Amino acid sequence: MRYRCVILDHDDTVVNSTKTVHYPCYAEFVRKFYPEKPVVSFEDYIRYNFHPGVVEFFRNIVGLSEEESLRESAYWNAYVKKHVPEAYPGIRELLNDFRAAGGIITVISHSYKENLLRDYRENDLPEPELAFGWEVPREKRKPHPDTVFEILSAFDLKPAECLMLDDMKPGLDMAHSAGIDFAAAGWGNPVPEVREYMTEHADWYFGTVGEFREFLLG
């Protein structure tokens, strides 16, 4: 294998969650509590999540105060608990085969750890050896490289033995800060300028799960 360890993002990398969970939740929240505010398109929602990020999107684009942002976060958390996104076709087989070959599966995500582990169980995916989510203190959360270093230390890995797979810029920035290779997951992203940015700046860009499988295991 090319790498001993993969560090996976979760949303729109392993599971199809923005389209089926996060964007519908955002739209429902705005229409319910702030009907005077426009609901941005799915593509624009992706753009804003790509840059400047989800926190800044709700603060600066939607225009929520700190108190309103807390209500949105609680609404989102309750919504996520009732909606399980499906894993992309081929992900289960890929991770099972990587694990069977001796690979180490880890996750660094902006979802809460309990939610992403639930998604792994519900989609019959092999449980990660180590996972970090939104519960990590903000100063250590992606794109900060702290949790990458924790993974390297936990499994006595060299940076060259790890590959990060992510669909968004925070993962790319995190990988570069930590000195590990980065592969862009393009199968869940419909926005051309995001694809162009990731193609230009990632070490590798993959448009399908099958292409990534061939690279990782082939």
Residue 51 has what pLDDT?
Answer: 85
**What would the pLDDT profile of 8-38 be if each residue is shown by its tens digit?**
999 999 999 999 999 999 999 999 999 999 9
- Assign 132 a pLDDT band (cuts: 50, 70, 90): very high
Task: Reply yes or no on whether the pLDDT at 218 is more than 90.
Answer: no
Residues in the chain: 218
User: Of 25, 95, 113, 191, which Cα lies nearest the Cα of 199?
Assistant: 191
Average pLDDT along the chain: 96
| Domain ranges within the chain, ordered by starting residue | 5-16+88-217, 17-82
The CATH architecture to which 5-16+88-217 belongs is: 3-Layer(aba) Sandwich (3.40)
Task: Reply yes or no on whether the pLDDT at 153 is more than 90.
Answer: yes
Residue-wise DSSP of 152-217: HHHTT--GGGEEEEESSHHHHHHHHHHT-EEEEE-TT---HHHHHHHHHHSSEEESSHHHHHHHHH
| Prediction pTM value | 0.94
Task: Reply yes or no on whether the pLDDT at 52 is more than 90.
Answer: no
**What would the pLDDT profile of 181-190 be if each residue is shown by its tens digit?**
999 999 998 8
Residue 54 has what pLDDT?
Answer: 87
Percent of the chain with pLDDT over 90: 95
